[in-house]
Amino acid sequence: MASRKNALPITRKEDFSAWYQAVIVGADLAENSCVRGCMVIKPYGYAIWELMQSILDSKFKELGHTNCYFPLLIPIDLFEREAEHVAGFAKEMAIVTHHRIELKDGKLVPASPLETPLAIRPTSELIIGESMARWIKSYRDLPVLINQWCNVMRWEMRTRMFLRTSEFLWQEGHTAHETEDEARREAKTMHGVYYWFIHDVLKIACIPGKKPDHDRFAGAVDTFSIEAMMQDGKALQAATSHYLGQNFARAMDIRFQGRDDKLHYAHTTSWGSTTRMIGALIMAHSDDDGLNLPSEIAPYHVVIIPLLKGLGRDDEIISYCRDIRETIGDAARVFIDPKEIEPQNKKWDYVRKGVPFICEIGIKELEGQTVSITKRASNLEKAQMELSIFKHQIKNMLQEHDELLLQKSEEYFRANVRADIRTFPELKALFQTENKFVMVKWSGSPQKIELLDEIGVTIRCIPFRQSNAKGKCILTGEDACTDVVLAKSY
Amino acid sequence: MASRKNALPITRKEDFSAWYQAVIVGADLAENSCVRGCMVIKPYGYAIWELMQSILDSKFKELGHTNCYFPLLIPIDLFEREAEHVAGFAKEMAIVTHHRIELKDGKLVPASPLETPLAIRPTSELIIGESMARWIKSYRDLPVLINQWCNVMRWEMRTRMFLRTSEFLWQEGHTAHETEDEARREAKTMHGVYYWFIHDVLKIACIPGKKPDHDRFAGAVDTFSIEAMMQDGKALQAATSHYLGQNFARAMDIRFQGRDDKLHYAHTTSWGSTTRMIGALIMAHSDDDGLNLPSEIAPYHVVIIPLLKGLGRDDEIISYCRDIRETIGDAARVFIDPKEIEPQNKKWDYVRKGVPFICEIGIKELEGQTVSITKRASNLEKAQMELSIFKHQIKNMLQEHDELLLQKSEEYFRANVRADIRTFPELKALFQTENKFVMVKWSGSPQKIELLDEIGVTIRCIPFRQSNAKGKCILTGEDACTDVVLAKSY
């Protein structure tokens, strides 16, 4: 096979971080803005987000949640109510202090200071808890199952598009329950939804598990996460779900009259997923030619490029392209690109955009009533088939495309998990040259956890699937039987 | 007909403003939050907003627009670029000045001041213009047709839920074009979409027209609005569309190489509609029993209330309720309310929520395979019909429901438009006792416009439909042939 140039100016091997930016630019997903740490999500990137939203939103509603909207701004004194929570977020909050600007010495400056400064929500447990306290009087008012899609702000010093930006888009679910058991079940169920979304919809190999106590969400009793493996062997925490116990109920006074006629604090949960999942998508499936999109969140399944030669048959070709679109109908999202750009450039644009099937349609295809297809996930393999067959095959082809993405992701995953590391020196030596997911035993105590900090590694999670075999803690050497995953992370 | 108590504690006649709040509370649409001027949109209110979004979003996309997302925060020095724009918004902007909070004398206070303060977007012409300047190089890059759904903030001193809140949700469309003609056409087209939405979807009588020059959007060349009539005779501006000329293109340097190889400033537009439309909906269609929802934005078309008596046939009744839902299938959005609440209270809850058809289903209906229906828009008229007929009639019934809402709104409109006022003293006398839409002649000059301020009235718009008849200006007495609508407004 003849070697060819890649569609991106840089490869994963050369510079993974620069490659990541190149995928974003190449697929025209987003760009940095003039506002520090805030990005612009461009139409193609936003279309992916809309599809993600629509799939998750349907699932949330199926499970009985309804959407609401709560204020963007939170009076900072509300943060005094939950000590752990404020400690977790105090250092990264954008604070509104004035409600006017005025011209002073030819420059616009803030004017009219506020009595109580307001924080732009970094998350909404407190402000939603404030409403829940009003809504919930009796056990009959429970459970409360709500969600909101919104923007949040966490001031970041070092930002990277989709992965870490000061402002990002997300959904945050918030629920209140009568019993601990029911609330714990809710947190687990929603964690299951996230696993399904990351693994079954986005086709990304990942490990579901519980965060170690020292790495829980600020104010939570238990935090569950999905740890997805990126193509540089690093972990990306793709979504989290928290059992909050009665911590926020106490802080915000969410009490109800129980079946025993006594007052009880509710048990609450929260769970969130963000535009960061687009970052996960990029680093899990893209190659040196650009993005590679699983079908459920691909804005287009099939892009048709008319090969117009100005030889008098262009109208026939255009009309045949429309026939193809009509023939496929609802079986796939088809887009005919009419732009006057050199067809080869156009094709590579869609390769970089990760469109599953790119069809180039010229006189040959018109005369044979065929389609010529470039299959994005199969290393740009070409295929030709009759339109009548394509019509019947397209759904299967999309399924194969998706299976291929998942298969590649899982193969990469298996090849990059190590379960043979027994001592800290071995661990240290490994991470000096490679990034892997390393399964080790851990005592469960934060003792000597700083050893991991020194080598830039964290306990990603305590996987739900435990071997229950005995071994020695990687940090203390003591007997331990908890399996944990160690990795470098985003 | 026997008189009955209304479902709301207060009537429109007694106190229109208190009645408005009572409709919101009665339908459980929203509530005030602990944050000054910001409301919480509750599940039922948000479900209406989601339906509004989905209808408008499809229409925008059909017309070639794509969604994006731009930063929430705008560096305040960007506002120095457009003098009229900043003058319009400077007094109502929330300004972020710090990016951390810290504990000082036991109290949380802002810390880490920013070098450049940032405004929470009151609208996004500047920040989107900044991106457009990067995106647009040649006439081939035009038109750019984008939209975003987001929150915006305009600091308000006196707020009312949905009508005027510091934070609100909206969509803002932003487009850039090669020629003035094309941009003007876009602004008009989108204004047409809003008219269609307010009139044909929300069933609200309204007047489309152009704003007088002194009341344009800050920085616009022309502003078009939809002026809807509320049931107290006041006007509510329900959506606006602006032709911005080259003002923002000059401010943000949006230039392209034209077909003549020279550099030209683009012509831009913007257009927006907000959660305020829910306020319009409330004040246009609600009555003293609460909300009344046009079908396209009604979360439920039919609510089924099982009348359970504990007489051993409750399971059969529940099962029959499910049969009804299945029989209707996709023809309408059906909800069976299983809550253990006294059925009469439940029924009045849904009356207040404006559900078009409420079905009470007990043994009688089960045995006869019928449905008993309360028709919300027909003054709670009751009807009984066989399920097999209901199934075939439901679409027609929804259409009749919608026609009735529009008809009532238009009747009220016609009864409250005055075209017989010729002099300012007559006008003043009228508005001392009544709120009307008054059609008068206007010279087109801002001269003596302060007379209107004195009586609390504004020129709502210059309707597109002009009589072209000559007359005398209501303010100056000079010859004038422009028809304008005067009204008090929200």
Q: Is the pLDDT of residue A315 over 70?
A: yes
Any bridge partners for residue B243, and if so which?
B222, B269
Residue A7, SS3 per DSSP: coil
- Mean pLDDT to the nearest integer, B461-489: 94
**Residue B307 DSSP class:** -
Q: pLDDT digit string (tens) for A404-434?
A: 999 999 999 999 999 999 999 999 999 999 9
Q: Which pLDDT band, with edges at 50, 70 and 90, does A338 fall under?
A: confident
* The pLDDT of residue A2: 46
Whether A474 and A421 have beta carbons less than 8 Å apart is answered as yes
Domains for chain A: give ranges and CATH numbers.
Answer: 16-285 (3.30.930.10), 300-414 (3.40.50.800), 417-487 (3.30.110.30)
* ipTM reported for the complex, 2 dp: 0.95
Residue A156, SS3 per DSSP: coil
Q: Which pLDDT band, with edges at 50, 70 and 90, does A1 fall under?
A: very low
What residues of B are in contact with residue A33 (Cβ under 8 Å)?
70-71, 127, 130-131
Q: Is the pLDDT of residue B449 over 80?
A: yes
- Mean pLDDT to the nearest integer, A143-164: 95
Please tell me if residue B262 touches chain A, with a CB cutoff of 8 Å.
Answer: no
- Mean pLDDT to the nearest integer, A119-137: 96
- Do B95 and A96 lie within an 8 Å CB cutoff? yes
Q: Is the peptide bond before A143 cis (omega within 30 degrees of 0)?
A: yes
Question: A108-117 in b/e burial notation, b at 16+ Cβ within 10 A?
Answer: bebbeebeeb
Q: pLDDT digit string (tens) for B60-84?
A: 999 999 999 999 999 999 998 888 8
The angle that helices A314-328 and A387-415 make with each other, rounded to 10 degrees, is 70
Q: Which pLDDT band, with edges at 50, 70 and 90, does B36 fall under?
A: confident
- Mean pLDDT to the nearest integer, A319-327: 97
Of B47, B86, B167, the CB nearest to A66: B47
Q: Which pLDDT band, with edges at 50, 70 and 90, does B452 fall under?
A: very high
**Structure-token match 């293109």, residue found:** B249
- Mean pLDDT to the nearest integer, B369-390: 96
Question: What is the rounded average pLDDT for all residues in chain B?
Answer: 95
Give burial (CB, 10 Å; 0-12/13-18/19+) of A450: exposed
Q: pLDDT digit string (tens) for A74-105?
A: 999 999 888 888 888 999 999 999 999 999 99
How many Å apart are CA B190 and CA A490, to the nearest integer?
Answer: 43
- Name residue B227's amino acid: E
Please tell me if residue B88 touches chain A, with a CB cutoff of 8 Å.
Answer: no
How many Å apart are CA B366 and CA B315, to the nearest integer?
Answer: 11
Distance from CA of B92 to the nearest CA of A (A): 5
- Mean pLDDT to the nearest integer, B171-190: 98
- In A40-59, the residues whose Cβ lies within 8 Å of chain B are 40-43, 46-47, 49-50
Report the sign of the C-alpha dihedral through residues B384, B387, B393, B395, in that order.
Answer: positive
How many Å apart are CA B336 and CA A394, to the nearest integer?
Answer: 39
- Mean pLDDT to the nearest integer, B98-107: 93
Residue A369, SS3 per DSSP: coil
How many Å apart are CA B375 and CA B303, to the nearest integer?
Answer: 11
Percent of chain B residues topping a pLDDT of 70: 99
- Mean pLDDT to the nearest integer, B385-404: 97
**Residue B230 DSSP class:** P
Q: pLDDT digit string (tens) for A238-256?
A: 999 999 999 999 999 999 9
Question: What is the rounded average pLDDT for all residues in chain A?
Answer: 95
Distance from CA of A116 to the nearest CA of B (A): 9
How many Å apart are CA B127 and CA A31, to the nearest integer?
Answer: 13
* The pLDDT of residue B3: 56
Q: Is the pLDDT of residue B1 over 60?
A: no
The model carries a pTM of 0.96
From A122-131, B80-89, B142-151, B299-308, the region with the lowest mean pLDDT: B80-89
**Structure-token match 């705008």, residue found:** B74
Please tell me if residue B92 touches chain A, with a CB cutoff of 8 Å.
Answer: yes
Whether A254 and A265 have beta carbons less than 8 Å apart is answered as yes
Neighbouring CB atoms inside 10 A of A368's CB total 12
Distance from CA of A151 to the nearest CA of B (A): 8
Which pairing describes strands B167-177 and B267-274: parallel, antiparallel, or unpaired? antiparallel
**Residue A194 DSSP class:** H
How many Å apart are CA B167 and CA B157, to the nearest integer?
Answer: 12
Q: Which pLDDT band, with edges at 50, 70 and 90, does B447 fall under?
A: confident
H/E segment holding residue B442: strand B437-442
Residues 6+ away with beta carbon under 8 Å from A189: A63
* The pLDDT of residue B458: 96
